[in-house]
Structure 1
Amino acid sequence: MLVLSRKKGESIIIQDQIEVTVLAVEGDTVRIGISAPKHIDIFRQEIYASIQEANRESATPLEADIEAFMERLRSAEIKKD
């Protein structure tokens, strides 16, 4: 991890496209502004983690869902005969 010190109004640049500026420092809270191209998604870490978890859950089928699907297929095959 790169660690930098910045004062209010100072910025860092990431790969010529992203600028992170310190807007305010109040106690333990730092307000930052981020300028980036529209195609770059920017999330707070906890939101990003929540999105990743939801993606994992939706990509992993539940055994009960698979079993129910297989049962419907078997029932359709029996009715068909």
Structure 2
Amino acid sequence: MLVLTRKTGESIQIGDDITIKVVAVEGDQIKLGIDAPKNVDIYRSEIYQQIIEANQQASLNEETKDFIKNLKKE
């Protein structure tokens, strides 16, 4: 993991098209601004984990398995 120190108003560049800017520091919270292309999905990590778990549960669902089997037959 790369750890960087930034002050309010400073930013970090990721590749050519993603910029993360420190917008504010208030107590123990940091507000970040993220500038990225519209095709890049951005989630808080706990929400992203919930999405992964929901997708895994859906893939185990019998209706989903039947749907996939029917797609393969076509």
What TM-score, normalized by structure 1, do the two folds share? 0.74
Structure 1: gaps of 5 or more residues: 70-81
Residues 1:23 and 2:23 are matched in the alignment: yes
Give the paired residue count. Answer: 64
Q: Which amino acid aligns with 1:6?
A: R
Q: 2:57 & 2:42 partners in 1: Cα distance? A: 22
Q: What is the Cα deviation at residue 45 of structure 1?
A: 0.6
What TM-score, normalized by structure 2, do the two folds share? 0.81
Match of 1:47 in 2: 47
Structure 1 moving runs of 4+ over 6 Å = none
Residues 1:57 and 2:53 are matched in the alignment: no
Match runs of 1:65-76 below 5 Å: none
- The root-mean-square deviation of aligned C-alpha atoms, in Å, is 1.5
1:13-71 Cα deviation digits (max 9, x unpaired) = 00111000000001100000000000000000111000000000001135xx7xxx8xx
Q: 1:23 & 1:15 partners in 2: Cα distance? A: 20
Q: Which amino acid aligns with 1:43?
A: Y
Larger radius of gyration: 1
Seq. identity, %: 53
